[in-house]
Amino acid sequence: MNAPSAQIIRQRKRPRFSASILSFSLVCLIGLIELVREGRARITGIPVADLSDAGESTLLLGLVILGSWLAGRLVRAIALPPITGQLLFGVVIGPGLWEWLNRPSLALISHDQLASLHGAELLALVMIGLVAGSEIDGSLVRQRARAIVLIAIGQVSLVIVTVGAVAYAYFRSLEEAAICATLAATCSSAVSVALLREMRHPTSFARLLLATTVTKDLVLVIAFSIVLFAVATTATATGHAWYWIILHIAGSVVLGCALALPLRLALQQIEERMVAVVLVVAVLIVILCTITETAPLITALTLGYTARTVAPLASASFFATARRLFLPVCCIFFAAAGAHIDCGALVMNWPIVLALSSIRLGAIWTGTTLAARAVGLPSPMVRWAWAGFVPQAGISLALAAQVLIAFPTQSWARSLITIMIACITLNEIVGPVLMRIALRRVPESP
């Protein structure tokens, strides 16, 4: 046997990490963080609860990044998508689970510390948007425009009608049912792009799912704004919904397009330190969106798509670097999303949460399958396309938060949003698993 082939065999035989080693590493990591915090508290006399300085922030960030990656790898061993592991890791370290179990002191991250991760979460959301935008294949969208539109219309209309009906029966309020139904129709671009990046060679099916999700979410954000405005005019709300519509949609898209030109010029001037450039662009988007009250995800999505289309050569290394940073970004974003999950609310409202989620699932399945069959997609796609629209995450949560902003004093808004967040949480956990099965079952069409 010659040397190179022996080396190849050696490489193949090299053992990959088993589930037990990954679990041990995860336990070691959590133990290490606890040891450091306790050790410091013993030496300096500062109680663990009072440690909130720069060292504590970096320690927690390290825990979130490495821990959620290990958890993602761990669940991969049982054929689940890494996102599920990252979300579950977030649930375990976050305050929601331990508060529900009446053991708040066992949470590794407190509510205050979770709030301090908000900046990192926003950055992660923007990075996901940038990568998602760059992944949208313009030619595929043009080719499959009919399929995208029909699938989006099919499932959105059915979800709105069925979920709306159930919500009306439960809440006995047309306004609440309308908000609930529109929120249920949204799905997650972040999850789609994360699962797409997980595949070494994304199939045209995966790209179709992403394009449909992005298109649908853009339309739904507009629809949600209109619903919110309509409700605001009937109920006595703060009434800045029109401002919100214009800024959030038109403003986000315009800002994203406007940023593409300076980005192109900057990329022509800068030849090194691309990691820094990507981070700076992400930070700038967050700042501009905070100042102009626009949506960071939509802005980043638009910028990613425009820059990739307008300057494919100049932006190539920029997006390559963004994709390299995508893994840590996903770890932060999904672990933080998991840490935000309110397990108490999920358990307390489980009958209505289960009912709404099941109805939503059924409506997505029926609407998508009918539309896919009508446009003549290949049969594996027809069978599995629905599973790509079950996940919910960032954009759904952001829209839910807008209800609380628009109706800060109304008690119905608070209870409605608790139920909706519980539904989103359930779809957040179940959705990626279903989507991954779909992506695996549908081969690349010739």
Partner 1 sequence: MTSPLIWLAIGSIILVAGSRGVQRARRMFPVMRVLGGGWALLGFGVLVGPHAIGVFDDERLMQVQPIVLILLTWAGIVIGVQCRARFIIAIPRALWKWIGLDLFIGLLLSVVAAGLIARIWQPDSPAAAHILLSGTFAAFALGWNPESRSLGSRTDAPAVRMAVLVQAGAGMLAICTVVVSSLALQSGYEDAQGSVVFAPAGGMLALAMELCAVCVVALGAREILRDSREDDARTTLITIGALCILSGVAVSFGGSPLLTGLLFGAAIGLSRRRLRTLEHLISSAEPAVASGCFFFAGMTLALPQQSTTLIGGLAVGAIVLLLALARRVLKPLMMNLALSRERESVAIDSCAARAPVRQAPLTIIVLLAFAIHDSSGIADELLGVATLIALASIALTFFPRMPREAHASMRVPV
If the CB atoms of residues 126 and 393 are measured against partner 1, the closer one turns out to be: 126
Shortest approach of partner 1 to residue 206 CB, angstroms?
Answer: 18
The Cα 204–Cα 55 span in angstroms is: 45
Convert residues 64-93 into a mask of x (bound to partner 1 by CB under 8 A) and - (unbound).
-xx--x------------------------
In this structure, are residues 420 and 357 in contact, taking their beta carbons and an 8 Å threshold?
Answer: no
Convert residues 10-29 into a mask of x (bound to partner 1 by CB under 8 A) and - (unbound).
-x--x-xx-------x--xx
Calculate the alpha carbon distances from 55 to 50, 95, 269 in Å.
12, 20, 36
Shortest approach of partner 1 to residue 157 CB, angstroms?
Answer: 38
If the CB atoms of residues 206 and 372 are measured against partner 1, the closer one turns out to be: 206
Establish if 40 lies at the interface with partner 1 (CB under 8 A).
yes
Shortest approach of partner 1 to residue 216 CB, angstroms?
Answer: 28
The Cα 188–Cα 210 span in angstroms is: 9
If the CB atoms of residues 262 and 376 are measured against partner 1, the closer one turns out to be: 262
Shortest approach of partner 1 to residue 37 CB, angstroms?
Answer: 7
In this structure, are residues 152 and 216 in contact, taking their beta carbons and an 8 Å threshold?
Answer: yes
Pick one of 1, 2, 4, 54: the residue that binds partner 1 (CB under 8 A): 54
In this structure, are residues 212 and 206 in contact, taking their beta carbons and an 8 Å threshold?
Answer: no
Residue type, 429: I
User: Per CB under 8 A, which of residues 319..338 are in contact with partner 1?
Assistant: 323-328, 331
Establish if 264 lies at the interface with partner 1 (CB under 8 A).
no
Establish if 280 lies at the interface with partner 1 (CB under 8 A).
yes
The Cα 79–Cα 436 span in angstroms is: 9
In this structure, are residues 216 and 156 in contact, taking their beta carbons and an 8 Å threshold?
Answer: yes
| Residue whose tokens read 């700038």 | 284
Establish if 271 lies at the interface with partner 1 (CB under 8 A).
yes
- Reference 301, options 338, 249, 264, 265; nearest CA is 249
Establish if 142 lies at the interface with partner 1 (CB under 8 A).
no
From the CB of residue 407, how many other CB atoms can be counted at a distance below 10 Å?
23
Shortest approach of partner 1 to residue 225 CB, angstroms?
Answer: 24
Establish if 272 lies at the interface with partner 1 (CB under 8 A).
yes
Question: What residues contact residue 218 under an 8 Å CB cut-off, 6+ apart?
Answer: 249, 298
Q: For the purposes of burial, counting CB atoms within 10 Å of the CB of 67, is it exposed (0-12), middle (13-18) or buried (19 or more)?
A: buried
The Cα 442–Cα 434 span in angstroms is: 13
Shortest approach of partner 1 to residue 31 CB, angstroms?
Answer: 9
From the CB of residue 42, how many other CB atoms can be counted at a distance below 10 Å?
10
# chain residues binding partner 1, by CB under 8 A:
60
Establish if 60 lies at the interface with partner 1 (CB under 8 A).
yes
Residue type, 263: L
Shortest approach of partner 1 to residue 58 CB, angstroms?
Answer: 4
- Reference 428, options 84, 101, 44, 100; nearest CA is 84
Shortest approach of partner 1 to residue 47 CB, angstroms?
Answer: 8
Pick one of 226, 235, 283, 430: the residue that binds partner 1 (CB under 8 A): 283
E-state strands within 183-233: none
User: Per CB under 8 A, which of residues 107..136 are in contact with partner 1?
Assistant: 118-119, 122
- DSSP reduced 3-state for 117: coil
Establish if 257 lies at the interface with partner 1 (CB under 8 A).
no
Establish if 248 lies at the interface with partner 1 (CB under 8 A).
no
If the CB atoms of residues 160 and 267 are measured against partner 1, the closer one turns out to be: 267
**Rounded to a whole number, what is the distance in angstroms from the first to the last CA of the chain?**
38
If the CB atoms of residues 134 and 368 are measured against partner 1, the closer one turns out to be: 134
Which residues are at the interface with partner 1 (CB under 8 A)?
11, 14, 16-17, 25, 28-29, 32-33, 35-37, 39-40, 43-46, 50-51, 53-63, 65-66, 69, 118-119, 122, 266, 269-273, 275-277, 280, 283-284, 286-287, 290-291, 323-328, 331
